Structure 1
Amino acid sequence: MITPELVDLSRLQFAVTALYHYLFVPLTLGLSMLLVAMEGCYVITKREIYRDMTRFWGKLFAINFAMGVATGITMEFQFGTNWAYYSHYVGDIFGPPLAFEALMAFFLESTFAGLFFFGWKKLRPGVHWLCTFLMAFGTNISALWILVANSWMQHPVGSEFNPVTLRMEMSNFWEVISSEWAQATLVHDISGGYMTGAVFVAAISAWYLLKKRDVEFAKRSLAVACAFGLVTSIVTVHMGDESGYLVTRDQPEKIAAMEAIWDTAEAPAGLTLFALPDTERRSNALQVEFPWVLGLIGTRSLSTPVPGINQLEERNAARIASGAKAVTLLEQLRKDPSNATLLESFNVVKKDLGYGLLLRKYTSDVSTATPEMIRKAAADTIPPVSLVFWSFRGMVTCGVIMLLLFVLGFYYSVKGCPETKGLYLKLAALALPLPWIANELGWIVTEVGRQPWTIYGVLPVHISVSSLTAGEVLGSLAGFALLYSALLIVEVWLMKRFASLGPSTLGTGRYFHEKH
């Protein structure tokens, strides 16, 4: 029996594994491309310091890559174990991107990772750089297919519901992989990963400079990281703007929660800098806005209002009532599949089927749903306002700080004097956690903001889970928590150990610990 406890525990388990896995993904993306840049400098200049930079940061990449692979495997198994109905309902669309990720990306990055680590003495510099590039390319292709699948969950296109099989079926594969959501999400998330790698290298390099060790190595690493980070920060901001437009257009409930818009904001809507949302009174205290900004970002106009939560609930209540008819007609069609009149009536309200399924949380017979049940289901279509509101602002704040660090670091590197800027170096070293905080908060906005849907507008979360007991899910959750905690301790210990030793781990005789 599907209980609220089972749904909550299944969601919690997937959230824990997904957020933990995403501790490793952005650093893998960022470091892989930084290695391409560093080794490219070596191939062009023939200077050994760039070769040493590539090899040293490659060691830290290897640790992170291994942990990312280990934690990513369990996530895919959960689709079958904890989310069986979801897998049955949308497997035709969700399965192919995951299969392509394994066939096209995982084997590519794994193969060329081996050549990267073991081919230094066997391959010519240009050929080795090509292997490094293909390793990074495989990593990015892996992200592509995962994000295509996730983007389809956010905005399901290229598919339609089949009343005979009772499943979503793909109608246009190209539309799935080329949707605006897939493009914007891919570039935004990958550039966020690049920022993570840049901050990681910059923070550790700043620490070396504070300790006045391996100064030339650290200065060049800092310069490459800040230049790379500055470019990718600008891309991240631009694609964040594009994502804001798509969310406002296709997921109005999410943008309303992100901005705590209780009543429709007249055009042009302002962007909330700060507020204290009160979910009981449905109002904000101490609200400070940037005039017109949300209208420009979210609607690309000065004349289009942004719907508020109260109005969205009213609109969704009407869709739920229509969806209840769709569910009832579908049940009748199952008994009489050749009835053309029923099919015609169903097709009229089919677009609201998912909204009707929201009522299954309150009654097994949707046709008997009361106005109170419809009201509760409509309230469910609004994601948790405070969590989404503050997560979004935390993400943006971290992003702005990182952008400023890249600007200053690039400027000081061009001037050739970063080692003299003690305050900047301290701030850069302390900034190490920021990209992870930003990435995790970004995913909270993305996934919590989609609630109550597994597939937005199509499949509610509460009917997506497997027929398990709450105890079974709790037991596996506890096991994952213990295992992942152990892996995290190992990861942090290895990273700290190799970062503390620095490039002396290369055994070239040129670095700090080898001379002291």
Structure 2
Amino acid sequence: MDVEILSRIQFAFTISFHYIYPPLSIGLGLCMVAMEGLFLRTGNKMYEDMTRFFTKIFALIFGLGVATGIVMEFEFGTNWATYSKYVGDVFGSALAAEGIFAFALEAGFLGVLVFGWDRVKPATHFFATIMVFLGSMFSAIWIVVANSWQQTPRGYRVVGDGLEARAEITDFWAMVFNPSSIERVSHVWVGSFLAGSFLVLSISAYYIRKNKHLQFSTAAFRIALVIATVSALSQLFIGHKSAEVVAEHQPAKLAAFEGHFDSLAVADMYLVGWIDKKEEKTIGLSIPKGLTFLTHQDFTTPIKGLKGFPVADRPGALNIVFQSYHIMITIGMVLIGLTLYACFLWYKGLLFQKKWLMTVFQFSVLLPQLANQAGWFAAETGRQPWVVYGLLRTSNALSKSVTANQVLFSLILFTLVYLLLFILFIYLLNKKILHGPYKADVVHRPQQESMADQF
């Protein structure tokens, strides 16, 4: 493999591993705000214990997120020097804003959140919890804004020629509010809420299955289920708006999402399928004219297909784009169905009597993660062959002095280190879950009642 492919694989691997943690911290932060808010409102000590327990898990996730995110910034300079020169003014502004307005806020109050129990007033601690949550939200804003500018660049001018060319900001707010930033930030936020709430659902379901900490776990399950249900339903509409932006500003990506090849024709919406790139056709189960209807709200307006673009301007890995997009959509629909069914059982008073459902929720923590990863893969591979859409090709963004062997060697090392980090993360997370929310000598909490006592 050449240096471009290896560099892309390396960056995709490092960012995919890093992206396990920020969504979890954002979503778990929202759950913690809800839990501690209930404590202040009701005075029920259980909600304080709940927040304390999940704060320990949050701190673990936050630490891994910071450690794995640093590597990517070095990759910009080592593997993608031309890209760094080209977008440095734009990307640097967004990263600086993230550090000043987001990370400083999150990290500044993290100490109070983790170590402030019994040292500050409950209201002050709750304020710190909110600030940490907002800091993680703001951090997502600036990172996604920088990435969205690469998808739909606005508020810039190009100065210099050839290898000396670079994008220079002319309108900061036009850069921030580029055509795709609002929808993509919202999409990422809600995906993060799903990731964090399903982590709480998974841990709570495990305790319920084991008949442990029942009052604690059933209450935490209900809180997370409300957040997960609202988020899953919201994602359906936010995702649709994001797709409309893609249709308007990145039509080649939309065509790749649905394997639409005809130069200009009404387009089907595929439920499942496979792209035959050689024959330039898609085989699978589709809804006739479905994509046309979702895009234009009619069945007659044609959509530009892949054949309407030069071969050099089409996404290369069409099946990766197609399958990633459909995996994201499929998981999103599964999450909607799962959460609505759980809410129905809650309404009927049967929710915690379905042990098989608790088993499903215990392992469902993987679903939002898979959907988030698939969504990023679809967005980034669908943008190809551009690293900055319409301005800078990926093949021209590489460092000129890096060899394929160097990238391969560093990729192997990153893989080993990240594998060790992931094993450590799973070990520590599992240890905290097995330990539970209470110390072994604490017996005054009403946590040992049977399942029957919950109804």
Distance 1:506 1:77, change over 3 A: farther
1:69 lines up with 2:3 in the alignment: no
Q: 1:97 aligns with which of 70, 94, 97?
A: 94
Residue 324 of structure 2 aligns with which residue?
Answer: 391
Aligned-residue offset at 1:411: 3.1
**2:376 aligned residue:** 443
1:38 aligned residue: 35
Structure 1 residue 247 corresponds to structure 2 residue 240: no
TM-score between the two structures when normalised by the length of structure 1:
0.83
Does structure 1 conserve the Cα–Cα contact (< 8 Å) formed by 2:315 and 2:381? Answer: no
Give the partner amino acid of 1:294: L
| Unmatched runs of 5 consecutive residues or more in structure 2 | 450-455
Separation in 2, partners of 1:70, 1:389: 32
Structure 2 match to 1:139? 136
1:407 and 2:340 correspond? yes
- CA offsets 1:230-281 (integer angstroms, 9 cap, x no match): 11112211111011111111111111111011114634x3321122321111
In the superposition, relative to structure 1, how do residues 122 and 506 fare at CA in structure 2: closer, same or farther (>3 Å)?
farther
**1:449 aligns to what SS in structure 2?**
helix
Letter in 2 for 1:413: W
Alignment match, 1:323 = none
| CA distance in 2 between partners of 1:510 and 1:236 (Å) | 41
Structure 1 residue matching 2:304: 3-state secondary structure: coil
| Distance across 1 between alignment mates of 2:443 and 2:139 | 37
The residue identity in structure 1 corresponding to 2:281 is S
2:204 corresponds in structure 1 to 205
Instruction: Look up the SS of the partner of 1:504 in the other structure.
Output: coil
**Partners in 1 of 2:106 and 2:410 — Cα distance?**
30
| Superposition deviation, residue 505 in structure 1 | 4.5
Structure 1 letter corresponding to 2:203:
I
The equivalent of 1:338 in structure 2 is none
Structure-2 separation of matches of 1:513 and 1:501: 14
User: What's the CA shift for 1:514?
Assistant: 9.7
Matching of residue 500 in structure 1 with residue 434 in structure 2: yes
Equivalent residues of 1:273, 1:288 under 8 A apart: yes
Deviation at 1:414, TM superposition (A): 4.1
Contact 1:6-1:469 at 8 Å conserved across structures: yes
Unpaired segments ≥5 residues, structure 1: 314-377
Q: Secondary structure at the match of 1:454?
A: strand
Q: What pairs with 1:146-295 in structure 2 (closer than 5 Å)?
A: 146-163=143-160, 166-264=165-263, 266-267=265-266, 269-285=267-283, 287-295=284-292
Structure 2 distance, partners of 1:262, 1:61, is 45
Are residues 1:14 and 2:2 paired? Answer: no
Which residue is 1:54 aligned to?
51
8 Å contact from structure 1 (residues 498, 505) kept in 2: no
Report the secondary structure of 1:471's partner residue. Answer: helix
Matches of 1:28 and 1:475 in 2, distance apart? Answer: 31
- In 1: Cα distance, 2:319 partner to 2:231 partner: 29
AA at the equivalent of 1:485: L
- CA displacement 1:282-322 (0-9 Å, x = unmatched): 1223x332244322332355543111111223xxxxxxxxx
Please state whether the residue corresponding to 2:292 is helix, strand or coil. Answer: helix
Distance (Å, rounded) in 2 between the aligned partners of 1:291 and 1:73: 46
Distance 1:511 1:26 in 2: 32
Deviations 1:197-226 (A, max 9, x none): 111111121111111111111111110011
Over 3 Å counting, the alpha-carbon distance change for 1:68 and 1:505 in structure 2 is: farther
How far apart are 1:166 and its partner, in Å? 2.3
**Structure 2 length as normaliser, TM-score?**
0.93
C-alpha distance 25-506 of structure 1, shift in aligned 2 (>3 A): farther
Contact 2:312 2:385 (8 Å CA) reproduced = no
- C-alpha offsets along residues 62-116 of structure 1, whole Å, 9 cap, x if unaligned? 1111000000011112111211111111211111001111111111101111101
Cα deviation, 1:415-434, whole Å, max 9, x if unaligned, reads 44422112211211121211
Q: Does the 8 Å contact 1:52/1:506 carry over to 2?
A: no
Structure 1 window deviating more from structure 2 (168-177 vs 146-155): it is 168-177
User: What residue in structure 2 maps to residue 453 of structure 1?
Assistant: 386
Pair 1:431-2:430 in alignment:
no
Partner-residue secondary structure (3-state), 2:239: helix
In structure 2, C-alpha distance between the alignment counterparts of 1:275 and 1:395, rounded to whole Å:
14
**Matching residue of 1:327:** none
1:476 aligns with 2:410: yes
Compare CA radii of gyration and give the structure with the larger one.
1
Counterparts of 2:322 and 2:167 in 1: how far apart (Å)?
Answer: 32
Measured after TM superposition, the shift of residue 513 of structure 1 is 10
TM-superposed deviation, 1:117: 1.0
Structure-2 separation of matches of 1:133 and 1:254: 37
Alignment partners' CA distance in 1, 2:196 and 2:398: 35
Contact 1:391 1:445 in 2 (8 A): yes
**Cα pair distance change 1:138/1:44, threshold 3 Å:** same
In the TM superposition, residue 480 of structure 1 has moved relative to its aligned partner by 1.1
2:371 maps to 1:420: no
Moved more, 247-256 or 400-409: 400-409
Deviating more after overlay: 431-440 vs 273-282: 273-282
* RMSD across aligned positions (CA): 2.0
* 1:420-450 deviations in Å (ceiling 9; x for gaps): 1122112111212111111111111011111
| 8 A contact 2:106–2:133 mirrored in 1 | yes
Residue 500 and residue 306 in structure 1: after superposition, are their counterparts in 2 closer, same or farther (change >3 A)?
same
* Partner secondary structure for residue 130 of structure 1: helix
Where in structure 1 do 4 or more consecutive aligned residues deviate above 6 Å?
Answer: 511-515
Could you list the per-position Cα deviations for residues 29-57 of structure 1 after superposition, in whole angstroms to 9, with x for gaps in the alignment?
Answer: 10011100111111111101111111111
The one-character-per-residue Cα deviations of 1:322-366 (angstroms, maximum 9, x if unpaired) are: xxxxxxxxxxxxxxxxxxxxxxxxxxxxxxxxxxxxxxxxxxxxx
Counterpart secondary structure, 2:227: helix
Q: Distance in 1 between matches of 2:260 and 2:376?
A: 21
Change in Cα spacing, 1:43 to 1:512, as seen in structure 2 (3 Å) is closer
